[in-house]
Amino acid sequence: MVMTYSSSPTTSTTIFDIGNYSTKLLNVEPQSCINSSFPPPPPKPLLISTPLQGGNFPVILFLHGYLLFNYFYSQLIQHISSHGFIVVAPQLYLVEGADTTKEIKSTAEITNWLPDGLHHYLPSQVEPNLKKLVLAGHSRGGKAAFALALGKVANVTTNLKFSALIGIDPVDGVDKGIQTTPPVLTYIPQSFNLDMAVLVIGSGLGEVKRNPLFPACAPNGVNHRDFYNECCRPVCYVVAKDYGHVDMLDDETKGVRGKATYCLCKNGKSREPMRRFVGGIVVAFLEDYLKGNSSDLMAIKDGYITLPVELQDADFRV
């Protein structure tokens, strides 16, 4: 079953604002009964954001954070999609324990489904370019993305090659030495053997506890800083000061889990600036490494563009 929602672009063309493409959100559900006359269903429910105008577009496979719903990222993935990208956001699980092996396997299955399945669910004028396939994830989803790219689960492979990897405030556990299975971080500088460009985005408040009863949402020792330290060139690293681990989610996240995102993590004053920043830096990074247009990324690096947030840290090892 496919359900659609549409949005239109604004007149702005900066990377931190909605781009020039109108977008549509598609909900694609797996089918319990497979009929050979229908397109192959995905292994997991998908939320897809696609441009509506015709063209050939890179594809981003985006993995949600721990116990979050994929639709909590609707505004973020539409922002990215409006700049000329197809974003595929699976719902990997509803309830899951500490072990991330199942979601890593599911991500590989979805990746292998893309060549035969994805185009059936897109507008007829939209063509996915799977030669420019990006793996991205937030929080635990960021860890899962790195784990799949690094081959951390035995006998789990993909038929497609990823062109870039993005970790949005990735988290590998609750503390150094207390990593979730399979552990990704080795604490050996520049030890990640990744044949692709990497973007790591961090939140300045992610490692700050909201209250003493709960751990920080992105604890020091297993967070963005540690992932960045293990990446080899080319890697871009940015940390948004005064914003928290879930501040790139939609302005309003409903239900018990949605309300929990306001209570469990230390947050900034509002979500819009962080979401615009994450969307914009992702677009700038991919414009450079997928399309060869480095102007926006270099403008961020050199401080020639106004950002929606203040940076706490930034490093570009390119």
Catalytic positions:
139, 169, 245
CB 258 within 8 A of CB 245: no
What does the block give as tokens for 10?
Answer: 């604004």
Q: Where are the alpha helices (DSSP H) in the chain?
A: 74-81, 101-117, 140-150, 224-229, 255-263, 272-291, 295-302
CB 297 within 8 A of CB 288: yes
Let me know how long the chain is: 318
Place of tokens 């030669």: 131
Measuring CA to CA, which residue among 121, 198, 113, 196 is closest to residue 160?
113
Place of tokens 């500088």: 189
Compute CA distances 109 → 96, 112, 159, 170, 245, whole Å: 18, 5, 9, 21, 28
DSSP 311: E
